[in-house]
């Protein structure tokens, strides 16, 4: 058993060191909530209503709503309260056991004696048993000051919390006045006598929980179940959220905006790579087209120059002009030869 609290029972000058353990547990079958379509587990998250983000426990404070105003209390302020440091179960009264109204009784705890000697523990228990008294105590548990009683449970001392008087509701109803005859009262007493017995809680069972357990076991035996890792596993929920853009996961407003902007800009690495590859291919095709066009022009120029050499001297000037026109794309222009007028004059 896990220790909940440790301290001392104090009455007068007597101190009894003890440890506190939970005395009860729930026998109910616990359930998860799942999606009826795919049986995925439903989870609740702590989200801030202002920023929309999921908040960790370490960043959560307590607040009191007073209507128009809200007072925020930090953990440091709460820890500074004096009642927080109290580790004593202080006995304030010993009262007759029948004076404690059962409606006030709350959660039960077992007290274990601590130390080499349990004499003080045994003495207190024997005193309560012999005097038929119940010890009324005050103590602090989980930052709250509580009222409680010390009772006998077998060889142990049991601590049971009491509700504060203000916790009980006031009622404005009751039975109407009715006249009960002595015969009716005698018949009722006779019926009570027939049902009288010593109380044994072991003879009672929770029929609903028993039938519910039978139903669950039968479905498991018939194979009418789903794989726990697939429906409740954290790894799968994380993968689904990343692969489906957050499917099944509550995302914050900032996350949704950031993903939308990235999608709008086409920031997906795979799409960007495909686009870059396509652009490079188009550029290479354009360069190949230009190279082929230049090659055809060069071939045409060479043919024109060859035909000029084979023609007569009277057509040299025209051929030279064509050759010059074809070679304009070269480094310089070729000038046509002038007629030899000076040779005719000397003759």
Cα dist from 60 to 53, 64, 70, 251, whole Å: 12, 13, 15, 19
97 and 246 both lie in a single domain: no
Of 73-87, 186-200, 276-290, highest mean pLDDT? 186-200
CB burial readout 101-115, b (16+ within 10 A) else e: eeebeeeebbbbbee
pLDDT for the residue numbered 303:
46
Give yes or no for residue 233 having a pLDDT over 80: no
Does residue 218 lie within any of the structural domains?
no
Tell me which residue range forms the domain holding 107. 1-24+82-166
CA neighbor of 135 nearest in space, from 195, 75, 91? 91
pTM: 0.57
Q: CA-to-CA distance for 269 and 205, rounded, in angstroms?
A: 63
Does residue 243 lie within any of the structural domains?
yes
Q: What CATH number is associated with residue 129?
A: 2.40.290.10
Phi, psi of 112 (to 5 degrees): -105, 130
Residue count (the chain):
347
Q: What is the pLDDT of residues 7-41, one digit of tens each?
A: 999 988 888 999 999 998 888 888 888 888 888 88
Q: CA-to-CA distance for 277 and 140, rounded, in angstroms?
A: 71
Going by the DSSP 8-state scheme, the letter that residue 329 receives in this structure is: T
Domain total in the chain: 2
256 and 147 both lie in a single domain: no
User: Among 166, 199, 214, where does a domain finish?
Assistant: 166
% of the chain beyond a pLDDT of 90:
35
Q: What is the pLDDT of residues 311-342, one digit of tens each?
A: 444 444 444 444 444 444 444 444 444 444 44
148 and 232 both lie in a single domain: no
3-state DSSP helix/strand/coil % of the chain, to nearest 5: 45, 20, 35
Q: CA-to-CA distance for 232 and 227, rounded, in angstroms?
A: 8
Does residue 299 lie within any of the structural domains?
no
CA neighbor of 259 nearest in space, from 250, 269, 268, 270? 268
* Three-state secondary structure call for residue 58: helix
Does residue 232 lie within any of the structural domains?
yes
């Amino acid at each position: 058993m896990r220790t909940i609290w440790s301290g001392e029972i104090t009455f007068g000058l007597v101190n009894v060191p003890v440890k506190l353990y939970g005395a009860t547990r729930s026998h109910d079958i616990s359930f998860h909530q799942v999606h009826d379509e795919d049986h995925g587990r439903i989870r609740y998250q702590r989200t801030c209503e202002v920023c929309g983000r999921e908040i960790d426990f370490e960043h959560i404070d307590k607040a009191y709503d007073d209507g128009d105003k809200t007072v925020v209390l930090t953990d440091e302020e709460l820890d500074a309260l004096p009642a927080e440091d109290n580790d004593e179960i202080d006995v304030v009264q010993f009262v007759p056991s029948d004076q404690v109204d059962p409606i006030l009784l709350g959660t039960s705890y077992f007290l274990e004696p601590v130390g080499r000697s349990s004499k003080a523990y045994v003495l207190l228990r024997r005193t309560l048993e012999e005097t038929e008294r119940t010890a009324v105590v005050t103590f602090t548990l989980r930052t709250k000051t509580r009222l409680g009683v010390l009772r006998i449970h077998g060889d142990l001392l049991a601590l049971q919390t009491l509700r504060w008087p203000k916790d009980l509701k006031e009622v404005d109803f009751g039975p109407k006045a009715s006249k009960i005859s002595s015969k009716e009262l005698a018949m009722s007493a006779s019926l009570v006598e027939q049902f009288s017995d010593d109380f044994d809680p072991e003879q009672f069972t929770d029929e609903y929980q028993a039938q519910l357990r039978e139903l669950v076991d039968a479905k498991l035996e018939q194979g009418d179940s789903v794989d726990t890792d697939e429906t409740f596993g954290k790894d799968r929920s994380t993968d689904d959220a990343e692969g489906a853009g957050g499917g099944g996961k509550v995302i914050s407003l900032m996350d949704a905006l950031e993903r939308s902007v990235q999608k709008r800009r086409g920031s997906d690495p795979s799409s960007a790579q495909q686009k870059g590859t396509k652009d490079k291919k188009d550029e290479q095709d354009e360069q190949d087209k230009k190279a082929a066009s230049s090659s055809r022009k060069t071939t045409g120029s060479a043919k024109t120059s060859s035909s000029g050499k084979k023609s007569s001297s009277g057509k040299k000037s025209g051929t030279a002009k064509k050759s010059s026109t074809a070679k304009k794309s070269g480094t310089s222009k070729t000038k046509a030869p002038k007629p030899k007028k000076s040779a005719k004059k000397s003759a």
